[in-house]
Chains A and B, each alone.
Chain A
Amino acid sequence: MIKEYKFCQSCGFPLKKDKKSGGTEKDGSKSRKYCSMCYENGAFLTPPEINTAEKMQKFCIQEMKKDKISSFFAWLATRTIPKLERWKQ
């Protein structure tokens, strides 16, 4: 059975809210695991130096602040990142 993910397993964004309905795999199919902000053509869009959960949290918070999202919201929205599949190992 294919696992259904509610949240992007890279950044924690709710997949149902993704306007592009998710990222894309190399063959162009929709990713069930990652959102369109994190994943395209089978590769992550985050800069290569973002290679730990902690760095990803900081990166996401910075990006959200650029969109004038409050730091409280940004902290809440990113605090589950260490539990997501991309960062678990």
Chain B
Amino acid sequence: MVKQQIIDWLLEGDVSIQYQVWRDLLGVDKKKLQDRISNEGWGYKFLCKRNSDGHWGERFYQPKWTSTHYTLLDLRNLNLSPTNNIAQETIELVLQNNHADDGGIRLGPSTSQFSDLCVNGMFLNYASYFKTAEKKLQSIVDCILNERMPDGGFNCRTTRSGAIHSSLHSTISVLEGLTEFQKTGYPYRKKEISEAIKTGIEFILMHQLYLSDRTGQLIDKKFLTLTYPCRWRYDILRAMDYFQYAGISWDNRMTEALTYLNKKQNKDCTWNLNAAHSGQVHFIMEKAGKPSQWNTLRMLRIKKYFEIE
């Protein structure tokens, strides 16, 4: 397929894909198209799964992929309208009932003392996106910034079993959250957040996105598996997509990862969904092993942003 054919193929996809293709690849932000995400396709399906108590699944974090938390993250990544009142109502509900003693968001009734750093990062991401008032997010920002490690990244195990090295999983979720908070225009602890974003990005780049800084070996082969939705897991496509979204400049330490991603392109110029993270889901957006509109869209916007032919 030539580029126009790929664009046409993507524009045959879900309305959330169409919206992002227009915005990210064709440079037109079609708000009316974005408004349709709540009324048709995947966005509508997710919204229909909401319970009368305002949650998805059983509660905030159970069961994993069909819980309130991961459904809100899915809706944010679909680019549902940021002023959607259903998402906003549920976030308000979580803020009222799920505050942990450390200022973050607690996962369930048995975890009142400490929150989870990755979840705080993801929550900050969608809560900022859905325009939650800055003041209500300040304690979550504080909680996240308290956990920055000496190597510049983050690791959710610091509050559980302890950790001496940051985790790419935690770091990417936190970076997405802090970046979204700043993109919303909130000035709270601006300098410290900017510094945390800078050092978190450097932590990922120091690993060339997937290689050990000590041995140069692949850290985890799953980092090279192109999945969607990513959930809490890190992979190199998610990292590159974050870099383009955050607006950072090209860095030569991205070369290895981008070359790998480029090699994964099919002959018809699409990218497959390599695998899905196991677990109960509301519905399957795309089948593993087949060309993926999510992955193709993400790869094309990365290549466009970094001016790669």
Partners in one complex: yes
What sequence of 0s and 1s flags, for each residue 240-277 of chain B, a beta carbon within 8 Å of any chain A beta carbon?
Answer: 00000000001011111011001100000000000000
Q: DSSP majority for the A interface?
A: mixed
Chain B residue at minimum C-beta to C-beta distance from A13: B252
A9 nearest CB across to chain B (Å): 12
Chain A residues near B253 (CB, 8 Å)? 6, 14
Q: Do B262 and A77 touch (CB < 8 A)?
A: no
Instruction: List CB contacts (< 8 Å) of B145-188 with chain A.
Output: none
Number of interface residues of B (CB under 8 A): 15
Number of interface residues of A (CB under 8 A): 14
Which among A24-32, A41-49, A50-58, A68-76 touches the partner chain?
A68-76
Chain B residues near A13 (CB, 8 Å)? 252
Q: Do B262 and A80 touch (CB < 8 A)?
A: no
B204 nearest CB across to chain A (Å): 14
Q: B308 at interface (Cβ–Cβ under 8 A)?
A: yes
Q: A12 at interface (Cβ–Cβ under 8 A)?
A: yes
Question: B216, B250, B263, B308: which contacts A80 (Cβ < 8 A)?
Answer: B250
Chain A residues near B254 (CB, 8 Å)? 76
Q: Do A12 and B259 touch (CB < 8 A)?
A: no
Chain A residue at minimum C-beta to C-beta distance from B252: A12
Chain B residues near A79 (CB, 8 Å)? 250
Question: B206, B216, B255, B308: which contacts A77 (Cβ < 8 A)?
Answer: B255
Distance A18 CA – B258 CA, assembled complex (angstroms): 21
Candidate in B252, B253, B255, B263 with the most chain A CB atoms within 10 angstroms: B252
Some 10 contacts from A to B, beta carbons below 8 A apart, are A13-B252, A14-B208, A14-B252, A16-B206, A16-B213, A70-B263, A73-B259, A76-B252, A76-B254, A77-B252
Excluding A70-B263, A76-B259, 16 further A-B contacts by CB distance (< 8 Å) are A7-B252, A14-B208, A14-B252, A14-B253, A16-B206, A17-B216, A70-B259, A72-B262, A73-B255, A73-B256, A73-B259, A76-B255, A76-B258, A77-B252, A77-B255, A79-B250
